Structure 1
Amino acid sequence: MIRVQDIKLSVEQNKDMLIYKIAKKLHVQPSDVITYTIFKEAIDARKKDNIQFVYTIDVKTKKDNIILKKFPDMKAPNMKYIPPPSNISGSKKRPVIVGTGPCGLFAGLILAEAGYNPILIERGKKVDERIEDINKFWEERKFNKESNVQFGEGGAGTFSDGKLTTQIKNTRCRKVLEELVNAGANENILYKNKPHIGTDILRSVVKNIRIRIETLGGTFRFNTCLTNIKVNDNKLVQIEVNNKEWIDVDTCILALGHSARDTFNMLYNSNLNMEQKPFSIGMRIEHLQSWINKAQYGEKFAKNEKLGAADYKLVHHCKNGKTVYSFCMCPGGEVIVASSEEGHIVTNGMSEYDRDNENANSALLINVSTDDFGSDNPLAGIDLQRKYEKLAYVLGGNNYDAPIQTLGDFLNNVETTDLGEVKPTYAPNTKYVNLRNYLPLDMSEAFEEAIYEFDKKIENFGNKDAILTGFETRSSSPLRLSRDSNYESNIKGIYPAGEGAGYAGGIMSSAVDGIVIAEKIIERMTV
């Protein structure tokens, strides 16, 4: 097919106009266009009075040969995923995958498609049971340390916006998108410039991927936590689960996620090589979604249904050397408690597919270097995370209520006593505090500087009624499990993978990392 770029439609125009735009671009008649598929759709909102959709489109015409002979670079690349060759001639032991987030699921899918019958173990529960436990936590403060936003089928991303944006350029991304659509995600994720699934749809998507893996010969074991490993001659020979059962295994993918702190500690004591990694800490900030829509789309298009809820992505390099940036922006979403340890509060953001709630929220994060950890121990970053998570719990009243502050009060460095237009979405409840009192001076000054700069870019970002909720600590893993060019750790047979191991940042990159490692294992076993 021919790939045609920079096809534009105004917001008022219907997609039926695309065929005429394509024909004009290719200098052919509309009747010459046999079929076309949208490859990419983006929004150009730089001119608020003339917002446009910009398309990249794959086209088949009656004059393809003539066009491609003149413009060979217009040939659309083949996006089909080609699995690695496999004859299952290596180990007869089934590979084990620890964790069923996007990394674990896609590693499991590739191995299952190749006939390796993987075993996927997950310390949490199936997604339907997990939803019940999380709702009990949010509504009744009944916390389950093994079934929460961090642990369970689908991983932490199941209770998020389901964003699929990524900075990586990898042909396997298309495989991930197609499998997600096959499992129930809206097919528009195949072409949206900023695709998202929505937590409401993602919950059934992960379940359908599990069912597919099982159909292909894979096995899932829920409520099954990795508690120890056995190594002989620097090779993995067994893993222990739930402190009692040993399983013979020589191939194990560690797709742990960034919150399996007890497992990281066990692996450290088992001499698996790991190192500190910088991460970020911050707060969730909430605005009225109507403010963001108006700032991004202008008065004319702020309520346009075609455009949907507007988002933003911001970064500011501060005078004191710190960098403040927005992360995991959730249009029309809510702030949630995402704790994985009792007596600690972790905030995160979540949106359903329609993104139709009143508030927009985003993490407002600041970089933390390894010099800030206060120790050379690879696990020191976890201790720093815990410090702020415990602090949030105490400030909220020791009952999982979250400490909040209006943005105006943060800038004035006073405790909040009343709210304005923005109401917090966090549950169970919130408590007024002065969050600024509990941040190091360089961090609070950096946040203040960044807020004023962000307000110049997005009207009302610095509105005094915006709400800050403390604290966000799990934007990425604070450590990295070392691996070589074959993706294997210093212990042969162990493959650190995904976000928790320090090699990904989000659903897409985690899924791709799982695919790559599965391919390496298939290659090894095929030799």
Structure 2
Amino acid sequence: MDIIWPDLKISIDEDEAQLPDFIGHKLGIADDRISNFRVLRRAVDARKKPSIYFVYTVGFTLEGSKQELRRILSRNSHLRKNVSEPEKKTEHKPEKKLLHRPVVIGAGPAGYFAALALAEAGYKPLVLERGEAVENRGKSVQRFWQEGRLNLESNVQFGEGGAGTFSDGKLTTRIHDDRTRYVLDTFVQFGASPEILFQAKPHIGTDVLTSIVKNMRKRIQELQGEVRFETKVTGLSFRDGRLYAVMAGGEAIPAEAVILAVGNSARDVYGFLFKAGVMIERKPFAIGLRIEHDQSFINWSQYGMESHPRLGAAEYQLTYKDSSTGRGAYSFCMCPGGRVIASSSEEFGVVTNGMSEWARDSGVANSAIVVTVRPEDFSSEHPLAGVEFQRSWEHRAFLLGGESYRAPAQNTMDFINNKLTGELSGKYTYAPGVVPANLRQTLPPEIGEVLARSFLDFDRKIKGFLKDSVLTGVETRTSAPVRILRDETGQSPSAKGLFPAGEGAGYAGGIMSSAVDGLRMAEKLISMYTVSYRE
């Protein structure tokens, strides 16, 4: 009988390899009756720090007679039988034949997972990416961080792997979709640690992600898909409301099915879609600042100890509801043992983000603290008003930073008191560098006030949160400021053949949900079209 044991708690100092022995002892049976043991999930319980536990959900096969197994289950109500449901296969009859191979625009998580699904189904997709392959992209990013020389087409936002490549590589998500397991398995297949399959808060890290995306590219190519880098899409051509070509790299590429998987920084794409009559609407997002602490302080606050070899760098998650405005403030993209990075993709704008490598060993913790903004906060009802809202505050940060892509920074207490910082008192990691400033000038006044009140609340939740912490701004690219509408078929209602996908289309937030949405749109395309072209 296959058994699931949830909420199995052991000390972090106990050996995980001894779990089968522990189970045998608890059930009063011989160890050799337990087989097929596997860890399904592992989380940390630090509620009674410094006594910290790992909480496991494990699966195993238990040998014995039916009568004995029923007796064991009746005595141990926390155990349950693992009843796996047969895989449901959806039969579909594609309506049309594709005359040309499908095109995927964007090589981020949504784009690459869509392309992989299409390639595995025999559709030989063409992937168009404006930025460089990840090997060269990394050089362009380092040049920007070290010298302030921004490559407008290949940077932290644009290039193979998408914006998530230069991040912590978090795979946590709030969505409940069976495709998430496929995404995790695929990451492991292409080089991620198998631990991500059972960690409660899995992450990959920038250093590992760069090799994973290369391996995904190679697999797509092995399946006769094509990936073109440094190929900027400048427009889509429609006839009678239906897509027939993609304008890219100076040519018109015939296409009647396109998965649009650009990131939330592809503002020029939003522009030509709007001019072409593709239906776009404003949507809320969040803006704010990055806060940095010594990682050892965060470890103490969360674990009651400075470090432990089995715990790694501690994380935190904070939320605040402002009673006077109704706005929410929250920590976003928290990067333990990481650094704050320059993430601009346009001239004359400063954008911050956070990044960690797999080891999370920089010694500095950072997180965005952001506040929700609504369409009514924008200057107009234009569908792209949110883009201009972001751009205006990024430009103010650029001016405050000395017009050189250095970022304005401030001691947190000075921000609360609306006081210019003369000298920074904590750790800060942003490159190409920072300039002491008053970050209230990089945010709408009401947003600044809500942030200040949220910091005071967070200091009550994590004692000492305000002390020796430094803020850097501005964080504007939390999610897309628009949604590209799509109908039940996955297509734009005003542009048949166009399948908007992922974070840039307004349907995802993060690596996992973007990958899942890319898969979903590939499935939609496959359900509608069968292959008839020859390449």
- TM-score w.r.t. the length of structure 2 is 0.94
What residue in structure 1 maps to residue 38 of structure 2?
A: 37
Letter in 1 for 2:57: T
* Distance change >3 Å, CA 293–CA 81, structure 1 → 2: farther
Residue by residue over 1:426-465, the C-alpha shift from the partner in whole angstroms, topping out at 9 and shown as x without a partner, is: 00111000112443332222112111111121122121x2
**Residue number among 479, 497, 500 corresponding to 1:493 in the alignment:** 497
Residue 271 of structure 1 is matched in structure 2 by 277
- Indicate the residue corresponding to 1:349 in structure 2: 354
AA at the equivalent of 1:106: F
Q: Is the 8 A contact 2:98 2:530 kept in 1?
A: no
Count of residues in Structure 1 that have an aligned counterpart in Structure 2: 522
**Aligned-CA RMSD value:** 2.0
Match of 1:419 in 2: 424
Q: Give the alignment of 1:73-472 within 5 angstroms.
A: 73-75=80-82, 77=84, 90-242=97-249, 244-299=250-305, 302-320=306-324, 321-420=326-425, 422-463=426-467, 465-472=468-475
- With over 3 angstroms needed to count, the CA separation of the structure-2 counterparts of 1:187 and 1:145, relative to structure 1, is same
Instruction: Provide the C-alpha distance between the structure 2 equivalents of 1:33 and 1:314, rounded to a whole number of angstroms.
Output: 41
Tell me the CA shift for residue 90 of structure 1: 2.3
Q: In structure 1, what is the Cα distance between the partners aligned to 2:442 and 2:518?
A: 38
CA deviation after TM superposition for structure 1 residue 392, in Å:
0.7
Conserved in 1, the CA contact under 8 Å of 2:502 and 2:517? yes
Match of 1:474 in 2: 477
SS at match of 1:283: strand
Check whether the contact 2:5–2:80 (CA below 8 A) recurs between aligned residues: no
Q: How many Å separate the matches in 2 of 1:11 and 1:39?
A: 17
CA contact (8 A) 1:161 1:351 kept: yes
Deviations 1:77-120 (A, max 9, x none): 36989797799972131000000100000000111101000110
CA distance in 2, matches of 1:79, 1:361: 44
> 1:141 Cα deviation (Å)?
1.0
Q: Which amino acid aligns with 2:29?
A: V
8 Å contact 1:81–1:175 — kept in the other structure?
no
Determine helix, strand or coil for the equivalent of 1:410. helix
In structure 2, do the counterparts of structure 1 residues 392 and 81 end up closer, same or farther at CA, with 3 Å as the change threshold?
Answer: farther
- Alignment gaps of 5+ in structure 1: none
CA contact (8 A) 2:291 2:367 kept: yes
Deviations 1:167-221 (A, max 9, x none): 0011110000000001101110000000000000100001101101111111001
CA contact (8 A) 2:397 2:442 kept: no
Query: If the length of structure 1 is used for normalisation, what is the TM-score?
Result: 0.95
SS state at 1:509 partner: helix
Letter in 2 for 1:515: L
Shift of residue 29, structure 1, vs aligned partner: 2.6
Residue identity matched to 1:91: L
Partner of 1:53: 54
8 A Cα contact 2:244 2:256, kept in partner: yes
Equivalent residues of 1:35, 1:59 under 8 A apart: yes
CA distance in 1, matches of 2:65, 2:209: 39
Cα distance change on mapping 1:97 and 1:218 into 2, 3 Å? same
Q: Contact 1:314/1:326 (CA < 8 Å) preserved in 2?
A: yes
Structure 1 counterpart of 2:16: 15
The runs of 5 or more residues in structure 2 that have no matched partner are none
Contact kept? 2:341, 2:354, Cα under 8 Å: yes
